[in-house]
């Protein structure tokens, strides 16, 4: 499928399906559209009336245009209320793309309003919505993907946007990262393991010219990563500490680190996840690392003037005679001691050593992403990530990056008083506090492993996965975080 922009307007376009966007309460056929509908023998007007189309976000209708019209089918798609959000364009484009596929259109013309008088970002968002909506994951089906070659969507033209070649290319590059992240999260835990996750990082490095360093268990021992290795010790698979580096050609404007939680499976450990705990979904516990690697793939293509370190302490959280026990005390690589009062709070242990490692690189800022707590899902639901940071500037940067990306996040309090809850009588810290405020104590725990560096933490346990189709996300892994990270790296 080829996506192009053109200055052609709907009146002069010909092809299989023409899609036109309308705002809620703005469904009127004036000027150009009235003239267009004249050419369509009023098919558009009748479609809008018969389906009672009101322009609501997510709504749409499609009909055949009779006669000798240069357009075979016309579609209306709702954009919701003014003012236009960039993500409304992605979502409308997704509705259009899915409909075009169902209607077996080969050529598709889309006319949507400009966002912020910016044809480049408008084109980029629409192209992202199309590509992300059409992505299907058939890797684990025994039947080969049906090719339906006679009915494939071949060409999509974004009308009235002039030439936006770079924006379309950038949208595609971003989508390769989002799709990589989706596929990593969706793959079962016997396929995406610490070993294969490290191989994926190596492949990204080779393809896009990044540096790669994989620290083996012995290297991690040398560095004193007792917290990470404590989690890893029950697995039959070796832990892999992944460090991918993107360096620009010239002197970097900033040096950043992105850390992703990389639990390729979280059984809970000896505090085993019980029935109804969602243990069978815990392949998604590497969603943070998927976002980090997805972002690395995009950054390697966009080549910004920023040095970026992508870090994943990859392991499984398993049970065996070698498992860490509740009550064990581990020592992290900054020397802090941690009493394990729950082996299922393992993510923060792996992140602790990753944070210490990142800060030693002398970066200007660190962002970690983690499917860290069920408590964050209770607080913010399935669509919204929690953001914790002691640095106001980072909160602003990440909020803006997420807003442009159409990825929802909400800043949560770094409530120092709750630190009481993770004090241990015998060690420096314990790894879990009381049930109440569980996502906040998790963030406070992480903060103990950062000294001076600017740092932010994103708890993505909710939005990493969606049970049902939602906009340009199909049911399953969403690839959450990739676009926010890329915007954060590129725009600041
Ligand atoms: N990986 C889970 C958190 C999680 C929950 C991710 C739901 C995705 C969806 C994490 O390791 C975990 O088990 N957290 C515990 C912490 C508790 C023991 C303090 C939790 O949230 O129950
Ligand atoms: Mn856990
Ligand atoms: Zn976990």
> Number of structural domains, the chain?
2
Does 186 lie in the same domain as 51? no
Instruction: Please give the average per-residue pLDDT across 240-269, as a whole number.
Output: 98
pLDDT of residue 148 exceeding 80, the answer is no
Does 296 lie in the same domain as 189? yes
* Cβ proximity of 298 and 204 under 8 Å: no
Atom of ligand 1 nearest to the CA of 278: 7
What's the CA-to-centroid distance between 191 and ligand 1, angstroms?
22
Atom of ligand 1 nearest to the CA of 268: 13
Beta bridge partners of 252: none
Does 286 lie in the same domain as 435? yes
CATH code at 375? Answer: 3.40.630.10
- Listed residues 163, 184, 204: the one ending a domain: 163
Does 463 lie in the same domain as 353? yes
Does 401 lie in the same domain as 349? yes
Contact residues of ligand 1, CB 6 A cut-off: 266, 278, 284-285, 342, 344-347, 371-375, 377, 432, 438, 461
List residues with catalytic annotation. Answer: 273, 348
pLDDT in tens, 448-492: 999 999 999 999 999 999 999 999 999 999 999 999 999 999 999
Return the pLDDT at 146: 66
Q: Whose CA is nearest to atom 3 of ligand 1?
A: 373
Atom of ligand 1 nearest to the CA of 435: 19
What's the CA-to-centroid distance between 348 and ligand 3, angstroms?
8
What's the CA-to-centroid distance between 369 and ligand 3, angstroms?
12
Q: Whose CA is nearest to atom 7 of ligand 1?
A: 374
**Rounded mean pLDDT of the chain?**
97
Instruction: Please give the average per-residue pLDDT across 331-353, as a whole number.
Output: 99
Instruction: Please give the average per-residue pLDDT across 292-319, as a whole number.
Output: 99
Among 265, 343, 344, which residue has the most ligand 1 atoms within 8 Å of its CB, making it the best to mutate? 344
Atom of ligand 1 nearest to the CA of 464: 8
What's the CA-to-centroid distance between 313 and ligand 3, angstroms?
13
Return the pLDDT at 145: 66
Q: How far apart are the first and last CA of the chain?
A: 33
Six-digit token pair at 409?
């996040």
Range of the domain at 345: 171-491
Among 316, 373, 382, 438, which residue has the most ligand 1 atoms within 8 Å of its CB, making it the best to mutate? 373
Atom of ligand 1 nearest to the CA of 432: 19
* Cβ proximity of 447 and 372 under 8 Å: no
Q: How far apart are CA 447 and CA 414, in angstroms?
A: 9
pLDDT of residue 143 exceeding 90, the answer is no
What's the CA-to-centroid distance between 344 and ligand 1, angstroms?
7
pLDDT in tens, 30-67: 889 999 999 999 999 999 999 999 999 999 999 999 88
Percent of the chain at pLDDT exceeding 90:
97
pLDDT in tens, 373-420: 999 999 999 999 999 999 999 999 999 999 999 999 999 999 999 999
Listed residue (217, 216, 243, 213) closest to 230, CA to CA: 217
- Listed residues 135, 163, 191: the one ending a domain: 163
Strand 454-459 and strand 60-64: the pairing is unpaired
Return the pLDDT at 344: 98
What's the CA-to-centroid distance between 477 and ligand 3, angstroms?
16
Return the pLDDT at 193: 99
Q: Whose CA is nearest to atom 22 of ligand 1?
A: 374
Q: Whose CA is nearest to atom 16 of ligand 1?
A: 345
Q: Whose CA is nearest to atom 9 of ligand 1?
A: 461
Least confident interval from 62-71, 174-183, 287-296, 314-323? 62-71
* Three-state SS at 184: helix
pLDDT of residue 238 exceeding 70, the answer is yes
Instruction: Please give the average per-residue pLDDT across 327-338, as a whole number.
Output: 99
Return the pLDDT at 68: 87
Q: Whose CA is nearest to atom 14 of ligand 1?
A: 373
CATH code at 30? Answer: 3.40.220.10
* Three-state SS at 99: helix
What's the CA-to-centroid distance between 175 and ligand 3, angstroms?
26
pLDDT of residue 309 exceeding 70, the answer is yes
pLDDT in tens, 92-121: 999 999 999 999 999 999 999 999 999 999
What global pTM score does this model have?
Answer: 0.98
Does 182 lie in the same domain as 45? no
Among 228, 268, 345, which residue has the most ligand 1 atoms within 8 Å of its CB, making it the best to mutate? 345
- Listed residues 111, 145, 163: the one ending a domain: 163
Percent of the chain at pLDDT exceeding 70:
99
Does 60 lie in the same domain as 35? yes
What's the CA-to-centroid distance between 112 and ligand 2, angstroms?
44
Beta bridge partners of 245: 211, 309
- Helices 86-102, 119-134: axis angle to 10 degrees equals 40
Does 434 lie in the same domain as 289? yes
Does 176 lie in the same domain as 271? yes
Q: Where are the beta strands (DSSP E) in 66-135?
A: 71-78, 107-111
Q: Where are the beta strands (DSSP E) in 58-216?
A: 60-64, 71-78, 107-111, 155-159, 211-215
Among 372, 445, 463, which residue has the most ligand 1 atoms within 8 Å of its CB, making it the best to mutate? 372
Does 411 lie in the same domain as 309? yes
pLDDT in tens, 347-376: 999 999 999 999 999 999 999 999 999 999
Instruction: Please give the average per-residue pLDDT across 411-438, as a whole number.
Output: 98
Does 177 lie in the same domain as 135? no
Q: How far apart are CA 431 and CA 183, in angstroms?
A: 31
Atom of ligand 1 nearest to the CA of 285: 1
Strand 240-246 and strand 107-111: the pairing is unpaired
Instruction: Please give the average per-residue pLDDT across 296-320, as a whole number.
Output: 98
Does 225 lie in the same domain as 207? yes
Ligand nearest to the CA of 460: 1
Question: pLDDT category, 219, cuts 50, 70, 90?
Answer: very high
């Amino acid at each position: 499928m080829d996506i192009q922009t053109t200055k052609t307007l709907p009146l002069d376009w010909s092809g299989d399906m023409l899609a036109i966007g309308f705002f809620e309460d703005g469904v009127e056929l004036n000027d150009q559209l009235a003239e267009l509908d004249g050419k369509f023998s009023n098919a558009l007007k009748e479609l809008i009336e018969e389906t009672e189309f009101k322009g609501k976000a997510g709504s749409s209708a499609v009909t055949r245009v009779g006669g000798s019209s240069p357009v075979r089918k016309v579609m209306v798609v709702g954009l919701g209320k003014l003012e236009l959000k960039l993500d409304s364009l992605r979502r409308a484009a997704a509705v259009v793309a899915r409909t075009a596929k169902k209607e077996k259109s080969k050529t598709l013309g889309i006319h949507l309003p400009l966002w912020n008088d910016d044809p480049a970002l408008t084109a980029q968002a629409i192209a992202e919505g199309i590509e992300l909506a059409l992505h299907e994951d058939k890797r684990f089906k025994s039947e080969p993907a049906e090719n339906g070659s006679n009915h494939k969507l071949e060409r999509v033209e974004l009308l009235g946007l002039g030439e936006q070649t770079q924006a379309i290319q950038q949208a595609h590059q971003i989508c390769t990262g989002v799709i990589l992240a989706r596929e990593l999260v969706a793959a079962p835990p016997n396929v995406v393991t610490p070993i294969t996750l490290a191989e994926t990082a190596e492949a990204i490095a080779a393809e896009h010219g990044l540096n790669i360093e994989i620290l083996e268990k012995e290297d991690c021992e040398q560095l004193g990563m007792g917290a990470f290795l404590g989690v890893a010790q029950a697995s039959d698979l070796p832990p892999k500490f992944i460090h991918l580096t993107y360096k620009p050609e010239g002197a970097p404007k900033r040096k950043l680190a992105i850390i992703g939680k990389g639990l390729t499976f979280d059984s809970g450990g000896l505090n085993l996840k019980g029935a109804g705990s969602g243990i069978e979904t815990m392949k998604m516990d590497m969603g943070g690392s998927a976002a980090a690697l997805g972002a690395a793939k995009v950054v390697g293509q966009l080549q910004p003037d920023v040095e970026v370190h992508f870090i994943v302490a990859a392991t499984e959280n398993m049970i065996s005679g070698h498992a860490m026990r509740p009550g064990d005390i581990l020592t992290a690589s900054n020397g802090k001691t941690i009493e394990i009062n729950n082996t299922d709070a393992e993510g923060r242990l792996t992140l602790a050593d990753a944070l210490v490692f990142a800060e030693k690189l002398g970066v200007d800022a660190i962002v970690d992403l983690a499917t860290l707590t069920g408590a964050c899902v209770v607080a913010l639901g399935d669509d919204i990530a929690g953001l914790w940071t002691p640095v106001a500037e980072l909160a602003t940067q990440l909020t803006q990056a997420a807003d442009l990306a159409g990825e929802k996040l909400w800043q949560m309090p770094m409530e120092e008083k709750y630190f009481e809850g993770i004090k241990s009588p015998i060690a420096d810290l314990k790894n879990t506090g009381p049930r109440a405020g569980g996502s906040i104590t998790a963030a406070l725990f992480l903060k103990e492993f950062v000294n001076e560096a600017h740092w932010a933490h994103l708890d993505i346990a909710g939005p990493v996965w969606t049970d049902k189709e939602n906009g340009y996300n199909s049911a399953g892994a969403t690839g959450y975080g990739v676009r926010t990270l890329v915007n954060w790296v590129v725009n600041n």
